[in-house]
Amino acid sequence: MIRLLDFIFSFLGILFLWPIGLIVYILGLFDTGSPIFKQERVGRNQKPFVLLKYRTMSINTKSVATHLASSSSITKLGSFLRKSKLDELPQLINVLKGDMSLVGPRPNLFNQKELIKERSEKGVYDFLPGITGLAQINEIDMSTPKKLAETDAEMLKTLTLKKYFYYIFATVGGKGSGDRIK
């Protein structure tokens, strides 16, 4: 049921939000010259997939977890995109393709060994990663791997249709501020 909802909502999101996406893309061309950010992430069953986002940092920023990146690497447009969560729009393509769900644990990088260990022990990788979830709306990010893995596991164990919609509407409504940046 959730996969069907993911497909429908991501399709409708792309269909209705493409004008906003096009504007962000064009602004991104002026901001960094390369508006789409692609990065290999850990997916379901620890299989790699390419995550899509709008670029919010300068092109030469080192590929590390967001909480390890320097705030000076965020562009002015990138700051706005992060605050408005518009940088996440391209992930609707990931959801449509089946690489992600709208609700699930945020996909991490393969170099985040401690988080991978914690999530593996708790069965988090048995599920699709998501755009939002319990950790995101409670501002728990990848800087606290053990707490994040515990929160992800709790969310997945208790996920209902009602909670699925709650996490989505809470995120769209502005709850949660995203990953910390040093």
Q: For residue 173, what pLDDT band results from cuts at 50, 70 and 90?
A: confident
In sequence order, the 6+-apart residues with CB closer than 8 A to the CB of 162 are none
Q: For residue 70, what pLDDT band results from cuts at 50, 70 and 90?
A: low
Q: For residue 65, what pLDDT band results from cuts at 50, 70 and 90?
A: low
> Is the per-residue pLDDT at 93 higher than 50?
yes
HSE-CB of 73 using CA atoms within 13 angstroms: 17
CA distance 116 to 138: 21
> Is the per-residue pLDDT at 55 higher than 80?
yes
Query: Cβ(79)–Cβ(72) under 8 Å?
Result: no
**Residue 87 is encoded by which pair of tokens?**
């940088």
> Is the per-residue pLDDT at 182 higher than 50?
no
HSE-CB of 7 using CA atoms within 13 angstroms: 6
CA distance 135 to 84: 18
pLDDT in tens, 115-162: 999 999 999 999 999 999 999 999 999 999 999 999 999 999 999 999
Q: For residue 52, what pLDDT band results from cuts at 50, 70 and 90?
A: very high
Question: Which one has a higher pLDDT value, 70 or 83?
Answer: 83
Q: What is the mean pLDDT of residues 100-122?
A: 97
> Is the per-residue pLDDT at 27 higher than 70?
yes
**All structural domains of the chain with their residue ranges:** 2-172
Rounded percentage of the chain residues whose pLDDT exceeds 90: 79
Question: Can you give the pLDDT at residue 64?
Answer: 60
User: Which three-class secondary structure state does DSSP give residue 8?
Assistant: helix
Q: Among 88-102, 123-137, 165-179, where is mean pLDDT lowest?
A: 165-179
